[in-house]
A = this chain, B = another copy of it.
């Protein structure tokens, strides 16, 4: 049993963490902070938690010592407080972007701001469990990966590692509205956001940096491009990844690579069916789950290997992945608290 707190808990990532941790048998939630909502019940902003918890938001200044601190602040914020926060907790999992990139210069290039705490960058382990299980077990500092990076890295890792693809990797991402967070704006205003197929970032997505960082150990010539399109979906993320298979690569070899890397992974499912409606990964049935579903198809007309990856951006893409890392760090079974199978129909 561990004491955990969440620093900056009033956003969607914090709320999802709360939802998961409330049902986690090995966790006592000690404090959750919010400047805006201090003193109010967490169920005010998380109406799903009514009758599940009586927790009340604490003011950030009142944060006490705990075993594990989750940080769920907007990008650029946690690096301001890290030196103080790390004195309050033995272990830290930061869900934001500040400690995901190992190189200060890479961070500064992509985020267009100075890193305020570069000395801590190399202490953080990048929190994709499937790639860094052993490091995470031993680590005290984990950086929660970006949701778009998570699904892309997991979809591509076996292919790159097993040397099955070459040339440009094009990630066509279909994004949901919860990814933009809790802050209302005209672009999230329902009459404007509803029904969109909005090319909000045809190029230049910052998660590119994480993908390259994580896959470059396995390939020296990575060329990764992302185009992000927002669709009418609250939760969920699907990537259609267009890759070029090396000459002679067959579907069988692709299967083998995925099995080799993920055969024992509790949260990865290879979805490639001949029957039924759900022949490939589909984000809607992943809502609330920690699964990453991955499928693929060899294009027999134009030389191409299409990879399809899906996650719930708030669970496997954020809070669930963080709890999976926490479970590892404390020796709990990896699935603890993450058993929800998802709903169908939905």
Determine if A194 is an interface residue (Cβ-Cβ < 8 Å): yes
A44 and B192 CA atoms in complex are apart in Å by 13
Determine if A225 is an interface residue (Cβ-Cβ < 8 Å): yes
Contact across chains for A310 and B47 when beta carbons are under 8 A apart = no
CB contacts (< 8 Å) of A278 on chain B: these are: 47
Closest B residue, CB atoms, query A181: B191
Contact across chains for A203 and B306 when beta carbons are under 8 A apart = yes
CB contacts (< 8 Å) of A45 on chain B: these are: 276
Q: How far is the CB of A120 from chain B (nearest CB, A)?
A: 27
Contact across chains for A48 and B231 when beta carbons are under 8 A apart = no
Task: Pick the residue among B46, B190, B281 that contacts A234 (CB under 8 A).
Answer: B190
Contact across chains for B343 and A192 when beta carbons are under 8 A apart = no
Q: Which of A61-69, A76-84, A127-135, A297-305 contacts B (4 or more CB under 8 A)?
A: A297-305
Determine if A166 is an interface residue (Cβ-Cβ < 8 Å): no
Contact across chains for B306 and A202 when beta carbons are under 8 A apart = yes
Contact across chains for B301 and A225 when beta carbons are under 8 A apart = yes
Determine if A288 is an interface residue (Cβ-Cβ < 8 Å): yes
Contact across chains for A170 and B346 when beta carbons are under 8 A apart = no
Give the size of the chain A interface in residues (CB under 8 angstroms): 97
Contact across chains for B195 and A346 when beta carbons are under 8 A apart = yes
CB contacts (< 8 Å) of A240 on chain B: these are: 172, 199, 202, 227, 229
Q: Which of A15-23, A91-99, A100-108, A151-159 contacts B (4 or more CB under 8 A)?
A: A15-23
Contact across chains for B191 and A234 when beta carbons are under 8 A apart = yes
Task: Pick the residue among B193, B197, B283, B342 that contacts A310 (CB under 8 A).
Answer: B197
30 interchain pairs (CB within 8 A)? A19-B343, A22-B341, A44-B273, A45-B276, A48-B285, A48-B289, A48-B344, A168-B304, A172-B227, A172-B240, A183-B189, A184-B185, A184-B189, A186-B277, A188-B189, A188-B191, A190-B234, A192-B277, A195-B284, A197-B238, A199-B240, A199-B281, A203-B301, A208-B301, A223-B302, A225-B242, A227-B240, A227-B242, A231-B232, A340-B340
Give A contacts to B, CB under 8 Å: 12, 15, 19, 22-23, 44-52, 168, 170, 172, 174, 177-178, 182-199, 202-204, 208, 223-225, 227, 229, 231-236, 238, 240, 242, 244, 266, 269, 271, 273, 275-285, 287-289, 291, 295-304, 306, 308, 310, 339-346
